Amino acid sequence: MTLNTPLIKKIPAFDPSENYSVEFSYEGNQAVKNRAIIIDNETYQTVYDNEQERMRLDHVIVANTLEAGKVYQIRIKVYDNFGNESDFSSPVLFYCYTTPSFSFINITDDMIHRTSVLPVTLSYSQPEGETFNECQISLYTYDYVLSSSSPVLYDVSELTHTFYGLQNENVYYIRATGRTTHDMSLDTGYIKINIQYVMKYSNVIFRVLNLPEIGSISMSSNIIDIEYKLENENYTLKDGELVIYDNSLTYYDGFSAPSEYTVYCKARKLIPNSRFLELKTPDGSKSVWLEINKIGTLYYCVLNAPYALGTYNIFKELPKAVLVDAEGNLLVDNTDHALMLVNLDYVDGYTTVFEVKFKNGYFGLQVYYEEDGTVEEVVGAEEGG
């Protein structure tokens, strides 16, 4: 009687300096023994032929049986208690490599970190040239609950990520996991980080109190430090106005949004069809953003906001395209507002205030010139999935 042929499961690359169990599937009489034959995929010479008496559907390759940096093929057959045997399975290719070096280079276990911002960098190397495929870096709370994760990282030369908003006097764990090109697993393990820093404050609000009875003045201040970062150095700051190009500004710590709030954004010379303001919902799970869109012959500021069934959009009309004379000079009315013409591209040099409100679970939008507070009309709203 010939038993059913076993099927070897996928074998990720492994380190031959340790025991490794090759698993397979099989249906039929209880298997009590199996035999594995391994050949060198380059020379086609048999390097391993061994039987193991075991009822588990696997075959254990003992440590140091094979060599790192080699590619092999394996076939397996099974036997039952009555001496019946199966045919050999189809051969399966697998790779052997020394365990890669995969670790953080700028943090150590149980270290003390003195700020709320934690940049981390990974290093990867492998002596036989097994290439890196992907990884992800994760931040956990003291009780190993996932707090946030990096995007999946593919470029071995840029294995970096920055975590923001770490709470003072708290313990966190950092862990990176990934895999190589041939599915060898990568894992740094949990690295303990202790956060201890002195709170700094800015946005100064002074309270001045005259104390005539003692001939002195008392001054006190409440300072809040709002942490921020710029993507690169492509910016200028002059007369209180920040100009950025091919760049982004992110505020990430030092403030929080209550259940109801209003955000004011002052801007001009915005680029159509590009997000210029992005917020997070109060629970931090979804994004809300503003962009300039052209619809027909008119330009609108569009607020894209999430709700339970998808997203809803709020449209506010912006000034139409400007009129210029034959020399290219801007034509304005008696209040110095640009005269508009619908068939020109949107150009607006006036500072515009974009007012985003969150109340009762919904977002609202108002748009107006800073100098005159003129509120644009509500053009419409639509819902989409």
Q: What is the pLDDT of residues 73-84, one digit of tens each?
A: 999 999 999 999
Q: In terms of pLDDT, which residue wins out, 362 or 155? A: 155
Question: Exposure string (b/e) for 104-118, b if CB count within 10 Å is 16 or more?
Answer: beebeeeeeeebbeb
pLDDT of 265 higher than 50 = yes
- Cα dist. 282→258, 260, 276, 310, 329 in Å? 7, 9, 19, 17, 45
pLDDT at 371 over 70: no
Q: Among 115-119, 157-161, 364-368, name the one with the lowest average pLDDT.
A: 364-368
The number of angstroms, rounded, from the C-alpha of 362 to the middle of its chain's C-alpha atoms is 26
Closest C-alpha to 124, from 146, 153, 145, 144: 153
Q: Is the pLDDT of residue 28 over 90?
A: yes
Distance CA 205, CA 271 (A): 35
pTM: 0.55
Give the start-to-end residue ranges of the domains of the chain. 2-95, 101-195, 256-384
Q: Please give the Cα distance from 248 to 250 (Å, whole number).
A: 7
Lookup result for tokens 């003072």: 168
CATH topology of domain 2-95: Immunoglobulin-like (2.60.40)
CA angle 144, 15, 71 (to 5 degrees): 135
Residue indicated by tokens 């099989």: 26
Task: Assess if CATH 3.20.20.10 describes domain 101-195.
Answer: no
Residue 154: C-alpha distances to residues 127, 192, 232, 289 (Å): 20, 25, 22, 28
pLDDT of residue 385: 32
Q: Which residue has the tokens 């490794």?
A: 20
Burial of residue 17, with CB atoms counted within 10 A of its CB: 0-12 exposed, 13-18 middle, 19 or more buried: middle
Does residue 303 or residue 327 have the better pLDDT? 303
Least confident stretch, 93-97, 110-114, 258-262: 258-262
* Band (329; pLDDT cuts 50, 70, 90): low
Residue 197's pLDDT is 83
Report, as an integer, the average pLDDT of 3-19. Answer: 97
The predicted-structure confidence for 287-318, as pLDDT tens digits, reads as follows 888 998 888 767 888 998 877 666 788 888 87
Lowest mean pLDDT among 125-134, 145-154, 212-221, 333-342: 333-342
Highest mean pLDDT among 188-197, 242-251, 320-329: 188-197
